[in-house]
Structure 1
Amino acid sequence: MERRNLLRAAVLGGTSAALGGTLWRGAAYAAPAQPGTGPYGPLGSPDANGIRLPGGFTSRVIARSGQRVGTTSYTWHSAPDGGACYADGTGWIYVSNSEINPSGGASAVRFSSTGAITGAYRILSGTRQNCAGGKTPWNTWLSCEEVSLGYVYETDPWGTNAAVQRAAMGRFKHEAAAAADPVRRVIYLTEDETNGRFYRFVPTTWGNLSSGTLQVMVAGSATSGSFTWADVPDPDGSPTATRSQVSGSKSFNGGEGCHYANDTVWFTTKGDNRVWQLDLLDHTYELAYDDSLVNGTAPLTGVDNITGTSSGDLFVAEDGGTMEICVITPDDVVASFLRVDGQSASEITGPAFSPDGTRLYFSSQRGTSGSSSGGITYEVTGPFRS
């Protein structure tokens, strides 16, 4: 495919738009990315936590399912999944979903400016199989139910305000609602079905998700081309599933993570190990990564959750594969960033960076036991590119 340079400054009302407290400088991607030498060098031997990291990086365990978090009295949830970070004064908060059914929900861990754990608590209860989600520009956490006719819940990372069910965002097998676009004032959503769709929600009022319009992406069957949006007539999804309501809506094989930066959306599909890229300015889509189109051995398989950094790097977690988080650079190089050893029956979930970009949080959903009760949440610290 022809290389497309997406070097744009996200300017909003004369000021630079920020995401997660860090300025996004844009990215240059060609599709698909190919294996090469990554920006952080080769992986070292497993550390004390069984994690292989590049030189200069260290890991620590933040929480374990069924055990108290640090010195707090709060017991960490089972099957930790999607997550995000929020600035909290001089410290920050990491939120994490619980992908169990019933119960599910989400929890949070609070950190001081030095990274010390100062608190942990529940922010959502009584929901089902909360998988991924997304951070809003107004600092709430959208927690998604990955069940048939599932809901999106808007939660408070500080645990002060009660969670609210956002039915207008549609009822389907939600995966991520991760890509909040402040330019077009919409939120993008993925659907974890073998014939799932890619959606966007257009709130009636930006910053208020109580009402709005659910739309679905309409495009051809090719892996690149132009796209449009069409309203979903019945977001309630009953009796006709939302993915079946609009003729010409594009099918995706197992929608997973989703990430927005600088007029571009990236989202992953686990059924075909792809990362898709949508150019929101010219309304075109293409592949940013496809393991079947890699020259040689694909470093990234089991494509799942995705996040990004201010340098334009994408970090993609594996569900299975070799239990890695891989990086896709703006130069279209895909390489391993870390690997978790001895946990082949698990998956990596919830990658998210601290507001200053120096710490990466993620979970091994089932840990060494292979059971949802054995989840482990980690922090990796080091010289990430900014």
Structure 2
Amino acid sequence: MRTVGRRGFLRGAVAGGGAVAFAGGLWQEAFAAPAQPGAGPYGPLGAVDARGVQLPAGFTSRIVARSMQMVEGTSYRWHPAPDGGACFPDGDGWIYSSNSEVPLVGGVSALRFAADGTITGAYRTLSLTQLNCAGGATPWKTWLSCEEYDFGCVYETDPYGVKAAKPRPAMGRFKHEAAACDPDHKVVYLTEDQPDGCFYRFTPKTWGDLSSGTLEVLVGTAPGPVGWKRVPNPEFWVTATRDQVEGALRFKGGEGCYYAHGICYFTTKGDNRVWAYDAGARTLDLAYDDDLVVGTPPLTGVDNITGTAGGDLYVAEDGGNMEINVITPEGVVTPFLRLAGQEKSEITGPAFSPDGRRLYFSSQRGTSGSLLGNDGLTYEVTGPFRA
């Protein structure tokens, strides 16, 4: 199997003047290097607020749910270990769907918001599944909840709480992390949280129906030109999914996944990288690599990722110094927020409300750092986010 050569790539970058040319929508005017530290669009972080959050001027935070406690104004007890999440429109309001990364009971919960941000409901949309880690939203307004264990499955859930959740085994049985839908090429990209994991794409027979289709794995050169090969036995296997295709590219712990404007961005926590797959050109490049940062890297422990319509990427940290960093289209990486006193936790589930004015995320283990996840906190940040 081909392994991504981290040090070999760095030597090549130095020999070539330290620049790697990128294609795609993130870098405007052919910005030609992975993101570097600099002044962000919102200025420096301010003092720690009453909820333990440092934010730029003009932004405010609130806690919208606490694990094992009733959600305010409802009779629903919020789940432990909140993880991946996404927002969905709901009339004049919206819904935030959130995974629970615990064994046996796992599943997904949802918060319903009115137009003014008032919480109007909370409820379950998936139960009795295992280690529901990240996932992804679909264009047809469902939430793909991914199980993170060796024979894990993707479950398609209804954020509105009307339709029953359905397993999607054709998308592969492996240690799933995140999913990102590409409506332009009608495929779903999938990451795998293994030290030698792979990057996959699923092509459904009919776009909008994930019950059947073809699972493929990425092959080629990283960074460089890449292609896809079919996984022979994605559902039932003796040989693990990632070991079925010769030449499959290996990644050090696949995490978040986000698609926009022809590019699928995904993160790998073992080497603190944000990758950029150009679906049209079929090339794989680096949007961020802490080893290529001049000075002290602001972003470490890379994990979940989301973005805005304007092209900003927001990358959450698992560890690091508990930040969400923004990577701008101009190639600047800088902290957007930081949680104080939660060093034993991780930031999960970043997602913007449909109007882009509110950012939701969770601290999976909160201030106690309990591995049970019973101290998880789910936050909302409001402020002058740029379009």
Q: Do residues 185 (structure 1) and 194 (structure 2) align? A: no
The 5 Å alignment of 1:347-358 reads 347-358=346-357
CA distance in 2, matches of 1:114, 1:198: 39
Partner of 1:334: 333
For 2:251 and 2:236, the matched residues in 1 are separated by: 18
Q: Give the equivalent residue in structure 1 for 2:62.
A: 60
Query: Is the CA contact 2:171–2:234 (under 8 Å) kept in the aligned structure 1?
Result: yes
Post-superposition offset of 1:30: 3.9
After superposition, the C-alpha distances for 1:198-249 in whole angstroms (9 at most, x for unaligned) are: 00000000000000000000113xx411000110000025201110011111
Structure 2 counterpart of 1:361, which letter? Answer: Y
Match of 1:34 in 2: 36
- Normalising by structure 1, we get a TM-score of 0.93
Go from structure 1 to structure 2 and tell me whether the alpha carbon gap of 1:78 and 1:62 turns closer, same or farther (over 3 Å shift).
Answer: same
Superposed displacement of residue 26, structure 1: 8.3
2:24 corresponds to: 6
Assess if the C-alpha contact under 8 Å between 1:185 and 1:206 holds in 2.
Answer: yes
Give the Å deviation of 1:358.
0.3
**Aligned mates of 2:311, 2:87 — CA distance in 1:** 18
Partner of 1:246: 245
Using the TM superposition, give the Cα deviation of residue 100 of structure 1 relative to its aligned residue in structure 2, in angstroms.
Answer: 0.2
1:269-308 alignment runs, 5 A limit: 269-308=268-307
Residue equivalent to 2:262: 263
Query: Which contiguous aligned blocks of 4+ residues in structure 1 show a shift greater than 2 angstroms?
Result: 1-8, 25-31
Tell me the CA shift for residue 31 of structure 1.
3.4
Q: What corresponds to 1:19 in structure 2?
A: none
Offset from partner CA, 1:250-285 (integer Å, 9 cap, x none): 000000000000110100000110000111111111
With over 3 angstroms needed to count, the CA separation of the structure-2 counterparts of 1:123 and 1:344, relative to structure 1, is same
Aligned 8 A contact 1:318 1:347 in 2: yes
TM-score (norm 2): 0.93
2:43 matched to 1:44?
no
* Aligned 8 A contact 2:305 2:315 in 1: yes
1:209 corresponds to: 210
Unaligned 5+ segments in structure 2 are 1-18
Change (3 A) 1:28 1:105: farther
Give the equivalent residue in structure 2 for 1:365. Answer: 364
* Mapped contact 2:125–2:157 kept (Cα < 8 A): yes
Q: Kindly, what percent of the aligned residue pairs are identical?
A: 65
Rounded to whole Å, the distance in 2 between the matches of 1:284 and 1:33 is 18
* Local SS of the residue matching 2:80: coil
Question: What SS does the corresponding residue of 2:177 show, helix, strand or coil?
Answer: coil
- 1:267–1:276 CA contact under 8 A, matched in 2: yes
Task: Report the CA distance shift for 1:29/1:123 in structure 2 as closer, same or farther (over 3 A).
Answer: farther
Letter in 2 for 1:199: Y
Residue 370 of structure 1 aligns to a residue whose secondary structure is coil
What does residue 21 of structure 1 align with? none
Q: What RMSD in Å do the two structures reach over aligned CA positions?
A: 1.4
Instruction: Provide the secondary structure at the position in 1 that maps to 2:232.
Output: coil
Show structure 1 runs of 5+ residues with no match.
9-24
For the Cα contact (< 8 Å) 2:324–2:336, is it kept in 1?
Answer: yes
Contact 2:322–2:346 (CA under 8 A) maintained in structure 1: yes
Counting only pairs closer than 5 Å after superposition, residues 156-167 of structure 1 correspond to structure 2 as 156-167=158-169
Q: 2:126 aligns with which of 124, 127, 135?
A: 124
CA distance in 2, matches of 1:146, 1:26: 35
